Amino acid sequence: MSEKTTAIDQLNLSGTNDGKITIAVIEEPYGPKSESVVSIGISLQADAAEPDWKVHLPKSNIDDVIAALQKAKETL
């Protein structure tokens, strides 16, 4: 694959000793000419080679996901 990854941010994962939340943009994640996505990875250990969980969000879904997360936050 020809994907290119650009790191955006890395956050500490609350409730863990050294877990991380990583946010990146991946270009052509599924091969040439595929739409870029935002990748959000959750690692329970900071030195993990791959995240324990990962989600890819197309640009067209980001605003709706942010709105849903805000609603979820209000219920916590």
Task: Tell me the domain boundaries of the chain.
Answer: 4-75
Q: What is the mean pLDDT of residues 16-33?
A: 94
Is residue 75 over pLDDT 80?
A: yes
User: pLDDT tens digit string along 29-62?
Assistant: 999 999 999 999 999 998 878 899 999 999 999 9
pTM attached to this predicted model: 0.87
User: How many CA atoms lie less than 13 Å away from 2 in the CB half-sphere?
Assistant: 7
